[in-house]
Chains A and B, each alone.
Chain A
């Protein structure tokens, strides 16, 4: 029988939640790396026992931990993330040049085909690659050396590369997103990158339609339709049907189109999920009601999903990497909150129940479906 393994990164360690295909009874293991801030951990699609995890602390910086047995045991691998050459500057919050400094890994993205190959998105924004299971990391420097990079400015969380999407139909194509520079795509395995932000409109920057400078919060793709991308921007939910070359807004009837997460149903490429957040200055659900919104039409027409979710006095946030879907016949949806709850739906969002309710603040959620 299939098993579902939910990988949860939190402010104070990692947790692994496992269940059978019914997804009703859960076993909880953790905290792994207790006390460490785990921005993200993710399993290899090519070998589900291989999991990469990125704990860090303010005292000791970044380490990378790797499991080869599905998260039962872990071993530290390489943690040296050195920018290629002498890094130039980016812009600081006040608009002055600021030197590049490595701070942390925000996202690990294992290769779709090779368990030993993994990418890391880091702050200050850059993408690194390891081809030896995480022992050694090499920057793909063309992104940070892009003509626009000297003008990139950080979002509130820092100048972070937080989203990496590998195109299953083209091993040379990678999508990434940086707050607050925007989305970029390479079609040559990282040798060159192009901004893909046409159609985004951000009123908070001097030129609302600038080539870069947009605070993209997250991007999602259905693996069977890699040319279609969905984006939760700072404000606005967006869609592209040409691999990011052009975007159009699909916020439609959402009560607020600010938010962080966005994801796509595993079997219905036009069914997408967001968690609307009140505003950029009030990072909690509108009216204290935690509602996932689902569109079955690829955007514009949205329905609130509330069954099993708190509908009063709820003031948590759902961060950008904290939603994931499994690939069971009846698609499971999962998300974690800054209040330490991880909610699961085994029926594509129709109803929800908490798997755990009192973890440290959840920073990321990933799911492995293991047959």
Chain B
């Protein structure tokens, strides 16, 4: 197993605009890649995203944000949960999604 892995992350529209990136970014995270380590890497590479996915202080997922991968909802998995193999292998992205809500 390599020391780091590359994780593809899909971002919702507001965060793409905020970070000035496209729909998908890639981040390097130490193996084994988890939800938390991927978000840590994402925030380290794009500091402007800190606080917009997880609370600054509690590190908890914001209420209207969900995490999906491989057609599974990972939102309620512990942050230390290892990402699915297709995500670690780069075949699938970790999807950060805003809830369908608004006005």
Q: Chain B residues near A36: list those with CB within 8 A.
A: 14
Within 8 A of A (CB), among B53-103: 53, 55-57, 62, 64-65, 98-99, 101-102
Which residue in chain B gives the minimum CB-CB distance to A57?
A: B14
Which residue in chain A gives the minimum CB-CB distance to B62?
A: A61
Within 8 A of B (CB), among A280-328: none
Q: Are B57 and A61 touching (Cβ within 8 A)?
A: no
For residue A35, CB closer than 8 A to chain B, the reply is yes
Known contacts A35-B14, A80-B56, A82-B57; A59 and B48 CB within 8 A of each other: no
A101–B13 alpha-carbon span in the complex (Å)? 26
Which residue in chain A gives the minimum CB-CB distance to B63?
A: A58
Q: Are A60 and B14 touching (Cβ within 8 A)?
A: yes
A60–B55 alpha-carbon span in the complex (Å)? 9
Q: Are B51 and A80 touching (Cβ within 8 A)?
A: yes
How large, as a class, is the contact surface on chain A?
Answer: 10 to 19
Which residue in chain B gives the minimum CB-CB distance to A77?
A: B48
Q: Chain A residues near B15: list those with CB within 8 A.
A: 60
A79–B51 alpha-carbon span in the complex (Å)? 7
For residue B50, CB closer than 8 A to chain A, the reply is yes
The number of residues on chain B lying at the interface, defined by a beta carbon within 8 Å of a beta carbon of chain A, is 21
Can you spell out 29 A-B residue pairs with CB atoms less than 8 angstroms apart? A34-B17, A35-B13, A36-B14, A57-B14, A58-B101, A58-B102, A59-B12, A59-B62, A59-B64, A59-B65, A59-B98, A59-B101, A60-B14, A60-B15, A60-B18, A60-B62, A60-B98, A61-B52, A61-B55, A61-B62, A62-B51, A63-B18, A63-B52, A76-B48, A79-B50, A79-B51, A79-B52, A79-B56, A80-B51
Q: Are A76 and B18 touching (Cβ within 8 A)?
A: yes
A39: min CB distance to chain B, Å: 15
Q: Chain A residues near B99: list those with CB within 8 A.
A: 59
A36–B65 alpha-carbon span in the complex (Å)? 16
What per-residue 1/0 map shows which CB atoms of B5-26 lie under 8 Å from chain A? Answer: 0000000111101100000000
Q: Chain A residues near B51: list those with CB within 8 A.
A: 61-63, 79-80
Q: Show the binding face of A for B, using Cβ within 8 Å.
A: 34-36, 57-63, 76, 79-80, 82
A81: min CB distance to chain B, Å: 8
A80–B18 alpha-carbon span in the complex (Å)? 16
Which residue in chain A gives the minimum CB-CB distance to B13?
A: A35
Q: Are A80 and B50 touching (Cβ within 8 A)?
A: yes
Which residue in chain B gives the minimum CB-CB distance to A11?
A: B103
A35–B65 alpha-carbon span in the complex (Å)? 16
A288: min CB distance to chain B, Å: 25
A347–B102 alpha-carbon span in the complex (Å)? 39
Q: Chain B residues near A35: list those with CB within 8 A.
A: 13-14
Q: Chain B residues near A34: list those with CB within 8 A.
A: 17
A80–B57 alpha-carbon span in the complex (Å)? 9
A60–B65 alpha-carbon span in the complex (Å)? 8
Which 5 pairs show the lowest CB-CB distances between chains A and B? A60-B52, A59-B98, A59-B64, A76-B48, A80-B56
B9: min CB distance to chain A, Å: 15
Query: In this complex, which of A35, A36, A57 has the most chain B Cβ atoms within 10 angstroms of its Cβ?
Result: A57
A190–B27 alpha-carbon span in the complex (Å)? 42
Q: Are A82 and B56 touching (Cβ within 8 A)?
A: yes
Q: Chain A residues near B12: list those with CB within 8 A.
A: 59
A82–B57 alpha-carbon span in the complex (Å)? 7
B1: min CB distance to chain A, Å: 34
Q: Chain B residues near A76: list those with CB within 8 A.
A: 18, 48
B100: min CB distance to chain A, Å: 10
Query: In this complex, which of A61, A76, A80, A82 has the most chain B Cβ atoms within 10 angstroms of its Cβ?
Result: A61
A356–B89 alpha-carbon span in the complex (Å)? 52
A265: min CB distance to chain B, Å: 36
A57–B18 alpha-carbon span in the complex (Å)? 12
Given contacts A59-B12, A80-B51, A82-B57, 16 further A-B pairs with CB under 8 A are: A35-B13, A35-B14, A58-B102, A59-B52, A59-B62, A60-B62, A60-B98, A61-B51, A62-B51, A63-B18, A63-B52, A76-B18, A76-B48, A79-B50, A79-B56, A82-B56
A309–B75 alpha-carbon span in the complex (Å)? 50
B65: min CB distance to chain A, Å: 6
